[in-house]
Amino acid sequence: MALWQFVDSVAASPTVRLDLNAGLLRIGDGFDLSPAPVRRSIASSMLTDGEQITGWTYGNRTLVLPVQLLTSSADEAATQLQRLGRELARDSNILRVQLGTVPYFFRTFAAPDYTFKMLKTLVELGKATLEIPADPFAYGLREDVAVGVVTNNPAAATRGGFFDVTGVKGDVPAPLIIKDISSGLHPFGILATRSRGTPSDLVWFAQAEDIAVVTAGTDTTNPGGGPDAAMSGTGTNNYLRTDFATATMQTRLTWSIGNGLTDGQKKAIRGTYRVFVVVRRSAAASVMTARTSWDASWSGADANGPTVTIPQSTSRQLVDLGLFNIGPEKEVRPGRFGSEAPLLAQQIRIEAARTGAAENLDWDLILLVPADESWLSWFTGFAEDTSYDALIDAETESVYVYENGADPFAGSADVFPTKWAQLAGGFPMVKPGVTNRVFMLTSLNITIPGVNSTVASTYDISAHYWPRYLFIRPVAS
C-alpha cells in the first residue's frame, strides 16, 4: 500500500503535517514521479557530423499528484482544502513517499498559481491533479559512515591524510557531511575528492628522501643521523636539506612520477593536481621562494608554476605551489572504444631560492592533491579549542562549530554564532558504485594557513550523506 505524507523532516519517524493516504484527502491512481529533465549545453558546426554535448545538469522536477476529496460536507471540505493549501504554499516542504518497503522523500517548493486554482476543481468534482515543483532528486534516509582516526602523515599505515567512502547508495553524487569530533579543531585544512578509477592505485605523495623516485638537486643532500620525529617517514634520515650555497632559483628536488608504477597506477595518476610541499626552515629571517617547473615541449622548454613565498616560520609547514597537469584532461585510447593507455613517467621539479640571511630549508614531502573533479577546497577560520567540534556540510554549503560531544543531527547541539569558518572551492561529493577517496590535510595555525602542519596531528572523523535518487528508491541501494 502506498504512503503519501507531508512531513517535517527526512527521518525514519518524522512528524506528519498532512496525511494523504488515510484521511479525507487521498492520492489516487495516475501519479507521475518522472525523473527530472536534463538541461544540455550543445555545440555544433557544419564542419563535422553530429553535435557535441559540452555539459549537462538536472533541472527541477515536477510531481504530478491526482488528489481525491472524500467528503460531501462543505465545512469539512473547507477544512481539508485549507490544510492542503498551507502545505502547498510553504516555501519548501518535504513529501514522504513509500511505494514498497522503504521510504524516500522529495523536497518540494511553493506550488504555482495553476495548482492552487485546481483546489476549486477539487471541491466541484471531488478530484484534481496537482503539479508540485521539487528538487531534481528524491532523498533516502541519512547514511552514516564510521571513518575513524585520520592522521596528517600521508605515510601512515591507515588513513594517512585521506579516508575512503564506499558503498554509497543512490543514483547520483551526494553531498558529504564531515564531522570532526577530535575535541581539538584544526584551523586550516584542505579537502579533495577523487572518485575516478581505483583510488588505491593513485600515488599522490613522495617522500623527499626516497631515492627511487626523487632526485636531490642543487645544494640538496640527506643530512643523515637518523629519522626526525617531526617529519614523515622513517628513512636513514627522513628529509632532505638545501643549504642554498647557490642562492638563486635552482632545482632542489625532481620527482619522476611514474617510476616503478604498475599500468593501473600509471592510468590513475592522470589528472590535474595542486602541488604542495611540506618544508621546515632553520630560521625565519631570510626570504625564501619556491615554484614548480616541468618540460613543456619536445624541445625541452620549461614551464613554471607561480613563484610562492614560504612563510617566515620555523614550524613544519604546508606550502601550495599551484596547479600541475599529468597527462591530458581525457584518457588516451585508440579511437573511442579502445583501452586506456598508461602514462610514461613524468618529471616535476621543485625549485627554490633564498635572499638575505643564511638559512637551510628541509624538504619532507611532495604532495599531489586531486583538483580535477571540482571538489577541492580550503577551509579556515576555526580556533584551536577542545570545547568545539566541527562540521563541514556540503548539503547546505556551510562550515561551522558546535558544542563538544553533541549530536548536530539531533536538533539540540548548540552552534556558536561567532565561530563560523570559511571555505573556498567545491564542497565534497561522493558517487555511488565507486570508492570515493577523500583527502584531508590540516594545520594548527589560524593566522598563517599551512604553518605548523604537524605530522602527528590526528582527527576523529565521521561522515554522513543523504542518498539521492532519480526515480524511486530500491530496497538495498
Alpha-carbon distance of 410 to 8, in angstroms, equals 14
Position 187 confidence tier, pLDDT thresholds 50, 70, 90: low
What are 423-433's pLDDT values in tens digits?
788 889 999 99
Alpha-carbon distance of 66 to 100, in angstroms, equals 19
Q: Is the pLDDT of residue 1 over 80?
A: no
Q: Point out the least confidently predicted range of 26-30, 128-132, 186-190, 403-407.
A: 186-190
CB 334 within 8 A of CB 279: no
Alpha-carbon distance of 270 to 197, in angstroms, equals 10
Quick one: what percent of the chain has pLDDT higher than 70? 94
Q: How many CA within 13 A on the CB side of residue 121?
A: 12
Rounded CA Rg of the chain: 28
C-alpha cell at 247: 642562492
**If you average pLDDT over residues 184-199, what whole number do you get?**
78
Position 477 confidence tier, pLDDT thresholds 50, 70, 90: confident
- How high is the pLDDT of residue 400? 82
Q: Is the pLDDT of residue 383 over 90?
A: no
Q: Is the pLDDT of residue 296 over 70?
A: yes
For every residue of the chain, which 3-state class applies, written as one string?
Answer: CCEEEEECCCCCCCCEEEECCCCCEEECCCCECCCCCEEEEEECCCCCCCCEEEEEEECCEEEEEEEEECCCCHHHHHHHHHHHHHHHHCCEEEEEEECCCCCEEEEEECCCHHHHHHHHHHHHHCEEEEEEEEEEEEECCCEEEEEEEEECCCCCCCCECEEEECCCCCCECEECEEEECCCCCCCEEEEEEECCCCHHHCCCEEECCCCCCEEECCCEECCCCCCCCCCCCCCCCCCEEECCCCCCCEEEEEEEECCCCCHHHHHHCCEEEEEEEEEEECCCCCEEEEEEEEECCCCCCEEECCCEECCCCCCCEEEEEEEEEECCCCCCCCCCCCCCCCCCCEEEEEEEEEECCCCCEEEEEEEEEECCCCCCEEEECCCCCCCEEEEEECCCCEEEEEECCCCCCCCCCCECCCCCCEEEECCCEECCCCCEEEEEEEECCCCCCCECCCCCCEEEEEEEECCEECCCCCCCC
| Burial state string for 270-297 with b = 16 or more CB within 10 A and e = fewer than 16 | bbbbbbbbbbbbeeeebebebbbbbeee
CB 314 within 8 A of CB 284: yes
Alpha-carbon distance of 177 to 143, in angstroms, equals 10
- How high is the pLDDT of residue 327? 87
**If you average pLDDT over residues 167-173, what whole number do you get?**
96
Q: Which residues pair with 397 in a beta bridge?
A: none
Look at domain 3-137 and name its CATH class.
mainly beta
CA geometry: angle 348, 353, 359, nearest 5 deg: 120
Which of 95, 180, 156 lies closest to 130, judged by CA?
95
- How high is the pLDDT of residue 196? 86
Alpha-carbon distance of 389 to 348, in angstroms, equals 38
Output the pTM of the full model. Answer: 0.91
What are 249-267's pLDDT values in tens digits?
999 999 999 888 899 999 9
Alpha-carbon distance of 216 to 231, in angstroms, equals 17
* Residue boundaries of the structural domains of the chain: 3-137, 143-195+375-469, 199-370
Look at domain 199-370 and name its CATH class.
mainly beta
Identical fold between 3-137 and 143-195+375-469: no
- How high is the pLDDT of residue 233? 84
Residue in the structure block whose three cell numbers are 525523473: 35
CB 209 within 8 A of CB 240: yes
- How high is the pLDDT of residue 95? 97
The torsion angle over the Cα atoms of residues 424, 426, 427 and 431, rounded to 10 degrees, is: -160
Alpha-carbon distance of 228 to 273, in angstroms, equals 28
- How high is the pLDDT of residue 415? 84
CATH number of 143-195+375-469: 2.60.120.860
Quick one: what percent of the chain has pLDDT higher than 90? 55
CB 152 within 8 A of CB 168: no
CB 332 within 8 A of CB 318: no
C-alpha cell at 79: 477544512
Q: Is the pLDDT of residue 132 over 70?
A: yes
Torsion sign, CA atoms 167, 170, 171, 173: negative
Q: Is the pLDDT of residue 268 over 60?
A: yes
**If you average pLDDT over residues 11-34, what whole number do you get?**
92
Which of 227, 252, 253 lies closest to 239, judged by CA?
227
C-alpha cell at 280: 621546515
